[in-house]
Structure 1
């Protein structure tokens, strides 16, 4: 199979050490209009070579594999594609979402459940595609869907975004907007380095950072918790951002 460049279709690969599982994904993907499964692999080493040479928009990734686990494989990628985990084990669900997985499918999964995960990936991809245009917008605003409304928010007024249950709250100097999004989707709207992930549940405006201590990053007088897995990335972001580099000196 060859990779697609059709903007309305995601190029995907599947990685699973069980050929039967790969055949299931292949058959299900053939029924989904927004997915083109371009390659299947039983070994992560071969998949890595393919990604380095061809790339992909999405990976269907098993977790329990001989040698390198799916989670460790994902961590090894410097710029990972979107990922949908496909596994028979539920205990890794929390960790997978900490790694910003699009979804977590427990085997055996039905076609409706598979389709839902694919649609989530496609919607996230569309948000990513829209972001460059938003950043070129001279008014520098985004529109956030809240209920049946689209609400305009100026990026310069935005303080942070917080995940609360099934929603993300966008907190700005003008007020609060609540939207039924995931943090992955919010991160696609608020791109680095203008906004930086500091916690599993928080994205903050780099321009609003006034201080960083052992537990929190401060946006003026507002503390926001810093997760341990995000701290080193946050420090690097602050050091390389001319607006905030003085905070760690």
Structure 2
């Protein structure tokens, strides 16, 4: 896994780099003293078609905090918070971080966190590499674990800024995960799903009726934007 360390304390960066270089499956890409340097490094790597898989991130930094930086990211690399402040733990896990380490961090605790990240990385890689073979499901991070989502169970998806709610026929509560509408829409290429509103994607197979620019799916009423209405009617054979 290709990783970077972000911390405004030089000694903390030294320790992080030393720990990272001792782990065979970690590739140390670089160190950053603040979020701005991290953004520049990530963009530079992206321009060279190289991804950052894991970020070791401090929270209290000048300018942009670690939490603000994490919320601003478009891509979704794994993140391990390393901080002296335990009060951000809940917010961190709500942002689907891999782990939350309190300074000073022992190597044993560090190793436990990166092992967890490695397992998650391997599971994601296996999921993506077998997508064409096992395309009946995918995995998302939700409630501190990987949750399997079957395409056939999806009723519709609602976008909420950096999060989406996935409504399923198999449970009453939606699955909430940190993902953009664009990224989830890409999973539905050549499949019977359609974006019918800036905030909604629906399963065409689950539509029961359409009236007054509203779709009925079970007990749910979902709005249709006028800009999508003609394409929707064309997809379902209504025009």
TM-score, structure 2 normalization: 0.60
Unaligned 5+ segments in structure 1 are 1-9, 145-151, 161-170, 177-182, 196-204, 212-217, 224-234
Question: Mapping of 1:140-155 within 5 angstroms?
Answer: 140-142=135-137, 155=151
- Tell me the secondary structure at the aligned position of residue 12 of structure 1: strand
1:153 to partner: Cα distance: 8.7
Matched, 1:192 2:187: no
1:141 to partner: Cα distance: 3.3
Contact 2:2 2:28 in 1 (8 A): yes
- Tell me the secondary structure at the aligned position of residue 74 of structure 2: coil
Separation in 2 of the partners of 1:209 and 1:87? 47
Separation in 2 of the partners of 1:210 and 1:101? 38
* Residue from 21, 26, 40 that aligns with 2:31: 40
Separation in 1 of the partners of 2:53 and 2:42? 10
1:76 to partner: Cα distance: 2.0
Separation in 1 of the partners of 2:78 and 2:220? 32
1:64 to partner: Cα distance: 0.4
The superposition leaves residues 2-43 of structure 1 with CA deviations (integer Å, 9 ceiling, x where unpaired) of xxxxxxxx0110010001111111121122222122211112
Q: 1:134 to 1:209 in 2, by over 3 A?
A: farther
1:121 to partner: Cα distance: 1.4
The superposition leaves residues 202-222 of structure 1 with CA deviations (integer Å, 9 ceiling, x where unpaired) of xxx9525889xxxxxx96348
**Structure exhibiting the larger radius of gyration computed from Cα positions:** 2
Aligned residues: 181
TM-score, structure 1 normalization: 0.58
* Residue from 68, 76, 79 that aligns with 2:75: 79
Contact 2:5 2:16 in 1 (8 A): yes
- The two structures, once aligned, show a CA RMSD in angstroms of 4.1
